[in-house]
Amino acid sequence: MRMNTRERLAQRFKQLQGDYHSLNESNWYGWCTNVMHLLKLAFGDASAHLTEFEKIYSVNVGSFSEEVLGWLNSIFLAAKADYDGGYAVRIEASVAGEIFADFVLLAKEALAQKQKDVAAVLACAALEDTLKRIGTANGLDVSEKDMSEVISALKGAGLIKGGAKLLERMPRIRKHAMHAEWENITPEEVASVIGFVEQLILSHFPPS
């Protein structure tokens, strides 16, 4: 079974944790480089873990020291604990993006196979969840709001710009899809929903 991004990074944390016990003067540079790359992927360029790790590494890069290596490992273990505890905001966004992208891909395939109704349900579900996650990630209380309210909140916060006419049609399309009112939805409208969700994913949940 194919691992998702979160699972792959969790596995990498475990690998590097195990590698630490065999570090010596000749291979600790490689371990540090791998750790810094992993911290960047999991937490982003400006994370406290990466910043502190790089600071200690850069000052001591010219010499091997068990004490320094212990400091670096303590930062690595703190980062691993935060990651395992679900505090990696950057990768959570990436994982969300993967999930939504899968829904969009299925919707596009269904539409290509003339299964408009199936495509409409998938696309609208991805749209609603994506909009709410964008709001939640930016401090808005939108989890219990309907789509019209969510869209208004996002627009008011400047989180969605452009596509005003398309946005106005989204709640109606979603209502028809969720109530099986298939005669009121056209393939073109489904395609517009799919395209809109794709743009949201790229803008707010970019690949890591």
What is the structure's pLDDT at 22?
Answer: 94
Domain chopping of the chain, boundaries: 5-84, 89-204
pTM for this one? 0.53
What the block records as the tokens of 49 is 């873990």
- Compute the CA torsion angle 187, 188, 193, 198 (nearest 10 deg): 100
- Domain 89-204 is classified in which CATH homologous superfamily? Nucleotidyltransferases  domain 2 (1.20.120.330)
Cα gap 38→24, rounded to integer Å: 20
Question: Which residue type does 44 have?
Answer: G
Q: Over 60: is that where the pLDDT of 89 sits?
A: no
pLDDT tens-digit map of 19-69: 999 999 999 999 999 999 999 888 877 778 888 999 999 988 888 889 899
- 3-class secondary structure, 125: helix
What is the structure's pLDDT at 208?
Answer: 52
pLDDT tens-digit map of 129-184: 888 888 877 778 887 888 889 888 888 888 887 666 777 788 888 888 888 888 99
> First and final CA of the chain: distance in angstroms?
21
Instruction: Look up tokens 């489904």; give the residue.
Output: 190
Distance of alpha carbon 85 from the chain centroid: 16
